[in-house]
Amino acid sequence: MGERRAKESCQDGVNLLITKGNNNMGLEERCEALLGKQVRITFRDGSPPMCGVCVGYTRAADNEPEIAEIDIDTGAAGAYYGLMENEIEAIEELSE
């Protein structure tokens, strides 16, 4: 998926809102459900949202420091981002 499509998808409608406050699922379970899907991440510090495909995650127990992380492919050549759970306000699944 190209950078242009990732940016367009960021504007698309939202199917599912998954927030940090959802106690039914931890980040690991949310990421498992979102693997391969377009997502929009909003940040606690008010930074602009990031859109891309969820390509993986790291469990807190397997990460240093012990904070879960989601991996996003924004569509830019070679640009994958690892976003720590404590940086994330919400994760939204975008319609294709």
What confidence score (pLDDT) does residue 40 get?
95
What are the tokens at 59?
């469990």
**15 or 74, which is more confident?**
74
Q: Summarize pLDDT for 27-84 with one digit per residue, the tens.
A: 788 888 999 999 999 999 999 999 999 999 998 888 888 888 999 999 887 788 999 9
What confidence score (pLDDT) does residue 25 get?
64
What confidence score (pLDDT) does residue 76 get?
83
What are the tokens at 91?
């994760």
Closest CA to 85 of 44, 52, 48: 44
In 3-state terms the chain splits into helix, strand, coil percentages (rounded to 5) of 25, 40, 35
Within 8 A by CB and 6+ apart from 12, the residues are 38, 94, 95, 96
Contact 90/18 with Cβ under 8 angstroms? Answer: yes
Whether 87 has a pLDDT exceeding 90, the answer reads: yes
